[in-house]
Structure 1
């Protein structure tokens, strides 16, 4: 392994939070008490927390300083003006509606843009996104390229939309039956896979030809821009900001969780270019979130988000962020551990099908693997497979995704390469006695977004 490829952390550590490792026996008891659901494990019991990169990031000194400038006025906050101008400048959009986090933006967009019975094609589902689309009468259609569903295929821009699938949908259903195209940059459940600029342009051109709007799930847009700079011809000399600006020029708007590439602990927004949709969104934000000038966010959080968005486009930051994830992936590949390839921008995904070939998908192998990793090492991760996929809204049958994975999600500016070594060593050790991993079954299954609060026991 060539360690020289991986740059040192482009920051100094000013504050620390102590962590400790509890005994394996204690962790086994905690896992059982938590219903073998890593979401229900108390944070104090976790040694290295890779559950999510959502809101778990370390803010910069400038962001913390900005928190002290919070204007908590109920209407017309100075911090909203800063956030609004920053989003307009960096993304090139016309209108900004703040929300408490990304799913607030998803809810509003789905409510104002979907008519019951319309189709919402996208490059692979995401849990909360699909819920809001289906809750508002939409029908999700997966139009990601086929390779995205195969963990073993290592190709660039694996998150691209298959343009022929989109054309077929338009031809068969008619453009008027399509609410909009939801284009995720990057594609989370495919392994954090990016979308090429060429694909974004092609999708945009086809949709504009047919009068169909394109909305980004822009949660990890800066990571996507880094991959374009690194891997797409003609962009090596472009800045991240220039690439981001071009990306958004092909979209009609975006939902954004600021808790990822905004590098904050809470917050999000809905970006729109259409005036009519913007007016409708402002009406809905008052119902679900708060005033259009805060949308469920405190002024101090809007200030931190405005600063974080700018920091996310600094090349030194985003290069280290993506390569730290890649470092963990390369260590696991060297040891023969099956993961989703290529390594994406925010996480390494263990391929639970190949990791636990003795378990069938109905035995929830990814859920079982995530829990065994915690018991083995104190590392908390997340299932992204049949449990997360949920049930078909009409038939009640389990969705059975081809990808059955455990997501090792790296928070931004929180852990060092040594932490990645600890994680890699733990996964490798577990892989060497993988046959001991037992399957799980439900003892409590919520009707909506079950992966958050479900409880399990060993079969």
Structure 2
């Protein structure tokens, strides 16, 4: 079978099952430790794993690699201004670089930072800078059968209660992640974005949007929220971000590239501080860890990402995978979000208690059964948080075909059919930073 990576077709091989079992054991039952060649269909992440367009490749070939003031940076800055509405831009090597730059300027020891739901690196960067990352998803966000249209929203009432408890002065920023990756990729409504803007003003806090999937979020606003059906996704995407003081962006998602990210800010003083921090950690302020070719490709990708044609195909493919899984009897979180299908591991492997990581057990079985690589987003990835046991199957953009989706659905169905045979896992070794343990910890069957 062939898949498309970086604009080229590449053959993939399904290893024999005994060989898959050996490699899984060598990897410490952690699929992050598997080599790419070990994997048949790779749904570990949609971050930087997609296929670029011919227009992106053309821009890449004409890129300017000057250290300072390159034409490629000017092209990227122009695209960000046009598509996202931010004129003050600090490039970084990827999204977590943007988090390091911005949150290192905003957060101090003793601060408390609310978010609709922190993702792994966001949580780690807040904690690394001395802050306490607190999640405030709306009620019912963890109900996989709810048909609520915008379960990615922030519960602003609970943030106000937090402010009354700890003092507004201890809340330097309010973060909104769109779409909400940790809540099954569910979207955030425009109404909730506007409400969060008002909340940040009340608290005198910086309103930050994690915008890595801003285009996909705009698609759902257009589809589900009253008053937006006749607006273009490009218009909605820009309006969403118009309410924010700052954004952090991984260009590896809705920038449609394999590397890169940036910070966008409105305040001139904060802009200067982020530029200086970026020089220290990322690179000079007109390249920030990216090659000129990466910036040139992202400039094109940002414009492609907000087109109706691209978004319809992208989200349509994710929905197709979700429907295939549902028809096979695999329990999934519905409605399906924009970038991934989330399998309910707690329901699929109901005999495994949370302390034995049913999500990670399911991830391992998907690989053992059909060399499909997903990622656990439950108690293993997010220790000491009250989150459902989910496995994310994230689709790379413009990469896989229907045959791949059919293989994934058949693999998951086979695992569910023999679910009683699956054993839980226990941790053998893990890194000091518990918030990032799922990247490198090793486990073994209980």
TM over 0.5: yes
Q: Please say if residues 67 and 300 of structure 1, whose CA atoms lie closer than 8 Å, have aligned partners that are also in contact.
A: yes
SS at match of 1:147: coil
1:108-187 mapped onto 2 (5 Å cutoff): 108-187=101-180
Number of equivalent positions: 440
* Cα distance in 1 for residues equivalent to 2:403 and 2:139: 35
Q: CA deviation at 1:232?
A: 0.6
Give 2:93's aligned residue.
100
Give 1:204's aligned residue.
197
Say yes or no: does 1:452 pair with 2:439: yes
Selected match of 1:409 from 394, 409, 413: 394
- Give CA-to-partner distance per residue, 1:282-338, whole Å, 9 cap, x none: 100010010000000000000001111011011111111111111111222233321
* Cα distance in 1 for residues equivalent to 2:368 and 2:329: 22
Q: CA deviation at 1:206?
A: 2.4
Selected match of 2:84 from 91, 115, 120: 91
Q: Please say if residues 326 and 343 of structure 1, whose CA atoms lie closer than 8 Å, have aligned partners that are also in contact.
A: yes
Selected match of 1:346 from 320, 334, 339: 339
SS at match of 1:120: strand
Q: TM-score when scaled to structure 1?
A: 0.94
SS at match of 2:341: strand
Q: CA deviation at 1:151?
A: 2.3
Q: CA deviation at 1:146?
A: 2.1
Q: Please say if residues 7 and 52 of structure 2, whose CA atoms lie closer than 8 Å, have aligned partners that are also in contact.
A: no
1:205-284 mapped onto 2 (5 Å cutoff): 205-284=198-277
SS at match of 1:96: strand
* Cα distance in 2 for residues equivalent to 1:312 and 1:52: 18
Give structure 1 stretches of 5+ with no counterpart: 1-10, 391-398
* Cα distance in 2 for residues equivalent to 1:165 and 1:218: 23
Give 1:3's aligned residue.
none
1:29-48 mapped onto 2 (5 Å cutoff): 29-48=22-41
RMSD of aligned alpha carbons: 1.4
Q: CA deviation at 1:241?
A: 1.0
Runs of 4+ in 1 over 3 A off after TM superposition: none
- Give CA-to-partner distance per residue, 1:242-284, whole Å, 9 cap, x none: 0011101111111000001111000000010011110000100
Q: Pick closer, same or farther for the CA change 1:214–1:14 going to 2, 3 Å.
A: closer
Give 1:6's aligned residue.
none
Give 1:423's aligned residue.
408
SS at match of 1:165: helix
* Cα distance in 1 for residues equivalent to 2:8 and 2:362: 33
Selected match of 1:385 from 366, 378, 390: 378
* Cα distance in 2 for residues equivalent to 1:292 and 1:53: 27
* Cα distance in 1 for residues equivalent to 2:144 and 2:293: 41
Q: TM-score when scaled to structure 2?
A: 0.96
Give structure 2 stretches of 5+ with no counterpart: none
